Structure 1
Amino acid sequence: MEPDLTLDEVAEQNRSAPDEEDEDAFIVEEIGDSSDDRQAEPTVMLEPKKGMMFSSEDDAVRFYKAYARKKGFGVIRRTTRHGEDKMLTYFTLACNRQGKAQFSAKNSFKPNPSTRMQCPAKSNFSRRGENFCITTVTLEHNHPISPSKARFLRCHKKVDLHSKRRLELNDQAGARMNTNFGSPVMEAGNLEFGEKECTNYLQEKRSLKLGAGDAHALYQYFLRMQSKDPAFFHVMDVAEDGRLRNVFWADARSRAAYESYWDVITFDTTYLTNKYRIPLATFVGVNHHGESVLLGCGLLSNEDTETFVWLFKSWLCCMSCKPPNAIVTDQCKPMQNAIEEVFPQARHRWCTCHIMKKIPENLSGYENIKSSLSNVVYDSLTKHGFDKAWVEMINKYDLQDNEWLAGLYDNKNLWVPAYVKDTFWAGMSSTKRSESVNAFFDGYVNARTTLKQFVEQYENARREKVEKENKADSKSFQEQIPCITHYDFERQFQAAYTTAKFKEFQDQLRGKIYCYPTQLNKEGSVFTFGVREDSKIFCEGEDGKRKEKRVILEFIVLFNQGECDVQCMCRLFEFRGILCSHIISVLALMEITDVPSRYILQRWRKDIKRKHTFVRCFYDDMIDTQVVQRYDNLCKHSHEVAENGAESDALHDLVMDGLNELQRKIDAYRASVSRPSKRKESKVDQVVKILRAKKQQVPTNANEMPSQ
């Protein structure tokens, strides 16, 4: 990684650089940063205008960068020209998304993303004696810009001397990484550098320096957290003798995030290696990038049904009594009993990998049983196929009397993929997602960590997760993965989905190469296709070694041409929310250009404003953005209006009329100034609506009813 250049170093390189004749020459380097940039940043933000004068090149660069950061775009240096005396006479500062996109990758099916999209925004500077003057200006951009995401751009990242010195002193004093990074965060707030820049100063993580805490101290700490975050939720279960038994808490951001990611959660308990030996219970969801998002934590004294019922009810109360659609847990009977009591309508499944890990202790002495059981579980595409393969395996190894296997088969609807793939699980195949969330607490606690210290370290761990999501949002906002085919429906997903989810779709699109669809039947507008997939699987050979084997898999795809409705027996879309390669091959064969909007899930979209991103959290670096400030201001005044409107029926009706009128004005304003929605209705949706409308207008009798 090349070191950041100061403005003086950049200027020195420019003085020694060869002359440039083409004003639109392609830039090879983004503008570096200077540790003393903040010394002369203008206090009043101005837009670049023709004729503006600057005393030096550095002042001109500093001004344009400050303007770019305020507006929300990056800056690069383009053309530079020098006179006969080697002095700089002309240079151009442009938006970092200028230039033609250039994609380079060893694998043409996995091209690297590019931020460039020929943005015209730029400013040209020419020497006038000892000064520099702006000669031409273009302010318009051909892409969205975001001030809140500007700090993630390389040209705006900087570690000033004061922060560097603070990091060095803290490191010498033995401060661990997240504590050291938290020091400048608390002091400066919205930093222009991340924790990654601090790793050069911190060599190892050290234990926390807080004093030991007891139940009273933990309670007091929760009060302090709630004073910072009024929406912070916590509940403590105390025994009759005053002994603390169970604790649950969730911050405002977790509660708001649940409104977007409430459909599927995983729940898991993992023991912390501290002196209390108390299990940490986590509620985990999946965000629009496919990353883990924490939806609440609990510290439990026991793992019996009564304790889990208390925890689930506390969590449900925290989340406005809205239960999830589906839950993934370990194979635990008390946990299962509690879920049946508190979430009776939720689809419950066990973690498959946890079951497979128990094979050695429950089936010791059977060679190759793990490989055989894995093939039965993961390679069975249908329920009937699983049942048949299971019986064959039981007979082969003479396991009819094995109680553990008998119990698994009796509960096959709780864990076998063929029995659970008809439910949307957001890609959650096991509770490993929960375990990965628990893993990010590693480094924040040690063997001597007390309860009070752990809860305080929760803030630092949450800050890390929030920053990761913010960076992923910025990446999806700034970058665009290029299409690898000419199919129009690929461009639909490219425009709608986050970077991570569009990559998953492209993985299935690549898999189309190995799929061969053939029409088997047609009844009316319903087509039945057989799709042969040339695949490779891993199996255990006779010598006990794992080897690769080529197999041909058969899938059935149903396609309703009138409704443009499609379904595959692999059920990948129902399970993960991503169209499978088998469906894609049929769509291509049927020359479908646009897929209906129901196959582009709102859950994976990058253009959706989600509530938790506006929630003020004391660990969130976006705490001082204008969006959050406006949101808090509106919430404050709306609460006052609600209190006044609740005094009588007449005032209530008056407030509701005013709110309805205000909403109409907001809708009219958005319609007049906003650009066309990215989520416009597809051509297929329009055709389907027209067909349905015609069906409703034409009356039919019993003799005219079409065959189903």
Structure 2
Amino acid sequence: MMDSAPITMDEVVDGANEQKMGETETEPAMDVDVDVQKTTVQREIDDEIKIIPSNEETWMNLRFDTKDHGLLWYKCYAHDKGFSVRETGGVKRTSNNKPCEVVRYFGGRCNKEGWRQGSANNPANDDHVDQKPRSRITKEDRWDCKAVIRFQLEDSSQKYYISSWLDEHNHKMIPPSSRQFMRSNRTMNEVQKFLIDMYHKAGISIQSSFQALCLAAGGRENVGFTQMDHKNYIRTKRQKTMKFGEATMIYHHFKSEASMDPAFFYEIQVDINEEIASIFWADGRMRMDYFYFGDTISFDTTYRTNKNARPLALFVGFNNYRESCVFGAALLYDETSATFDWLFKQFLICMNGKEPGAVFTDQAAAIAGGLRTALPRTYHGLCTFHITMNAKSNGLWWSPFLEELSFLMYDLETEDEFDYYWKKMLENCFNEEEGKKLTSKIEAWLQNLHKVRSKWSSAWLKYHFACGMRSSQLSESCNSHLPRFFNILLPNIHNLYLGTCKMNTPSHSNTIYDQTTPRI
């Protein structure tokens, strides 16, 4: 698929007509890079310079400055006649078969040249029952058409001329109403590429963005390319980005973001094999939100981003409207104490040394170790939801126990009250006569839970400002917004960045809150 706009046959022939030998000077040829608005889907060749392939006199004196110029000319001719062109490779060898620096021979064929593998229409396959089967069933679109054109470099002028041309087709020509869909004439201009990039960065699907382009062009037939071309453009762009390797690709992505946002912060860990270990990032909006609303944080690593099961860590809090806002995000290599220690230190550096008042996480020991090292003055609270789920997974599923546990979490004022009701819970909820036996497994789990009671009971939480937060479900609710940004056509890190930034976009509700007052 070509990047430039299609050039009309009239324009290309006018440029080549200047090179005719032995004729009077013609009007100056129009430049090859013509205005896109001057091209049309349906056009005819000027009668005065009508090209007739069977009449060598009509084209033998045409000269083309470059290979691309010659191919464009032939594609324009093919478009007018109703067939698509398949380019044949250029040969960088002289007539003596010696290598050279420039392309001396190239050409173009009708796209229906030859046969598909295993084609039933190919006469040569009739006697070969052991023909290799095709990997997938496709429609028959080749008919062994012999139409071909060949170009050769002229030594004297260093321009290309047509050395031979056969224009005999054995198939129907494409009607004018459908010629805009021919592969060799489908194009995508710079404006369309810009819009596709913007739509994709906004998380809009390929189908929706293509429909938007069709509406803007006045119909699918006027866009100039197909939805598959749209998809291939995005895939090709990603492949070009991936050529540097994963680490270098992510480095360039974050460097580009930092050039547009001076407050953008990122840190990347790379091992000796240039494989990514862990990544942390926060843009200017996230850092500003943390400056105003970073008293309490919900931290969660339960979301898995890809087949390698790398955890995505989110630092999430409340804004002044009690809406969720992301303060930072990280893609981690593993969930060890060393990894979390590195992550929390980078978070502290990013936020200019401002520690949060409280952080709520699950019961992972590695997270607790990282917090003790990097954020020693921050209160570490445990997610009450995870404690309840862990209780059920350890066999403590009956209602009386869960009710007593909830009472210990939310309704106590002093430490003495906690000790009293803890003992009462053990006496009331574990009765061998009722089949509620205190097994060694349950006893060990309860002992571990009691050791960290200051991290989950209201009797200790009252000494810390927590904005009413008691769990890490705030982070988990943000995870539900991320899957729509994941797509195999873009690097995961790019989609993660899109997803986390999208959460911090000022919402319509902010405007409502600013313009109204609550009823008391």
| Correspondence for 1:422 among 445, 463, 468 | 463
CA contact 2:391–2:397 (8 Å) conserved in 1: no
User: Which residue of the partner structure matches residue 497 of structure 2?
Assistant: 458
Name the aligned partner's letter for residue 178 of structure 1.
I
User: Which residue of the partner structure matches residue 506 of structure 2?
Assistant: 467
SS at match of 1:249: strand
Name the aligned partner's letter for residue 364 of structure 2.
C
Q: Quick check: 1:178 aligned with 2:210?
A: no
Q: 1:340 to 1:457 in 2, by over 3 A?
A: closer
SS at match of 1:358: helix
CA contact 1:265–1:327 (8 Å) conserved in 2: yes
User: Which residue of the partner structure matches residue 325 of structure 1?
Assistant: 357
Q: Quick check: 1:260 aligned with 2:292?
A: yes
Q: 1:177 to 1:231 in 2, by over 3 A?
A: closer
> CA offsets per residue over residues 332-390 of structure 1, 9 Å max, x none?
11111111111111111111110101112213586743233223433434332222121
Name the aligned partner's letter for residue 369 of structure 1.
F
User: Which residue of the partner structure matches residue 119 of structure 2?
Assistant: none
How do residues 9-408 of structure 1 correspond to structure 2 at under 5 angstroms? 178-179=204-205, 209-210=234-235, 211=238, 213=242, 214-364=246-396, 368-396=400-428, 397=430, 399=438, 402-408=443-449
CA drift at 1:472: 2.8
User: Which residue of the partner structure matches residue 513 of structure 2?
Assistant: 476
Q: 1:367 to 1:427 in 2, by over 3 A?
A: closer
Q: 1:207 to 1:404 in 2, by over 3 A?
A: farther
SS at match of 2:517: coil
Q: 1:180 to 1:480 in 2, by over 3 A?
A: farther
| Correspondence for 2:476 among 430, 435, 438 | 435
Name the aligned partner's letter for residue 479 of structure 1.
T
Name the aligned partner's letter for residue 405 of structure 1.
L
> CA offsets per residue over residues 65-88 of structure 1, 9 Å max, x none?
xxxxxxxxxxxxxxxxxxxxxxxx
Q: 1:174 to 1:313 in 2, by over 3 A?
A: closer
Name the aligned partner's letter for residue 406 of structure 1.
Q
Distance 1:424 1:412 in 2: 17
Q: 1:369 to 1:477 in 2, by over 3 A?
A: closer
Distance 2:373 2:208 in 1: 42
CA drift at 1:179: 5.0
CA drift at 1:457: 5.2
> CA offsets per residue over residues 93-130 of structure 1, 9 Å max, x none?
xxxxxxxxxxxxxxxxxxxxxxxxxxxxxxxxxxxxxx
CA drift at 1:422: 2.5
CA contact 2:329–2:500 (8 Å) conserved in 1: no
Q: 1:322 to 1:480 in 2, by over 3 A?
A: closer
Q: 1:328 to 1:308 in 2, by over 3 A?
A: same
Distance 1:449 1:269 in 2: 25
CA drift at 1:311: 0.6
SS at match of 2:485: coil
Q: 1:294 to 1:175 in 2, by over 3 A?
A: closer
CA contact 1:275–1:449 (8 Å) conserved in 2: no
Distance 2:419 2:295 in 1: 29
SS at match of 1:268: strand
> CA offsets per residue over residues 164-190 of structure 1, 9 Å max, x none?
xx9xx99xx999963579979x99xxx
Instruction: Give the TM-score normalised by the residue count of structure 1.
Output: 0.38
CA contact 2:279–2:330 (8 Å) conserved in 1: yes
Q: 1:208 to 1:475 in 2, by over 3 A?
A: farther
Q: 1:362 to 1:351 in 2, by over 3 A?
A: same
| Correspondence for 1:444 among 482, 485, 493 | 485
Distance 2:252 2:505 in 1: 25
Q: 1:347 to 1:273 in 2, by over 3 A?
A: closer
CA drift at 1:453: 3.8
CA drift at 1:313: 0.8
Distance 2:511 2:205 in 1: 25
User: Which residue of the partner structure matches residue 658 of structure 1?
Assistant: none
SS at match of 2:267: strand
Q: 1:461 to 1:403 in 2, by over 3 A?
A: closer
Distance 2:209 2:262 in 1: 24
| Correspondence for 2:452 among 383, 408, 411 | 411
CA contact 2:359–2:378 (8 Å) conserved in 1: yes
Name the aligned partner's letter for residue 474 of structure 1.
T
Q: 1:348 to 1:223 in 2, by over 3 A?
A: same
After TM superposition, the structure 1 stretch with the greater mean CA deviation from structure 2, 428-437 or 397-406, is 397-406
Name the aligned partner's letter for residue 497 of structure 2.
Y
Note the aligned Cα RMSD (angstroms): 3.4
CA contact 1:176–1:208 (8 Å) conserved in 2: no
Say how many residue pairs are matched: 291
Name the aligned partner's letter for residue 228 of structure 1.
M
SS at match of 2:347: helix
CA drift at 1:461: 4.9
CA drift at 1:272: 2.3
CA contact 2:286–2:504 (8 Å) conserved in 1: no
CA contact 1:215–1:244 (8 Å) conserved in 2: yes
How do residues 553-568 of structure 1 correspond to structure 2 at under 5 angstroms? none
> CA offsets per residue over residues 388-421 of structure 1, 9 Å max, x none?
1210111230638501001111110011122212
CA contact 1:267–1:281 (8 Å) conserved in 2: yes
CA contact 1:176–1:207 (8 Å) conserved in 2: no
